[in-house]
Amino acid sequence: FTDGNFQYFKNTVDVVSNLVYGGLVVRLRFDF
């Protein structure tokens, strides 16, 4: 990775993990 590619990859991972975490929180909120 160059620094630019690594930063882009890291940002993508952060966005995906936020979406997954947000989905889990919403699912739990509706289940209980």
Distance CA 4, CA 9 (A): 9
Alpha-carbon distance of 8 to 31, in angstroms, equals 34
pLDDT digits (tens, 9 = 90+) for 1-32: 578 899 999 999 999 999 998 888 888 887 75
Predicted TM-score (pTM) of the model is: 0.56
pLDDT of residue 26: 82
Q: What pLDDT was estimated at residue 2?
A: 75
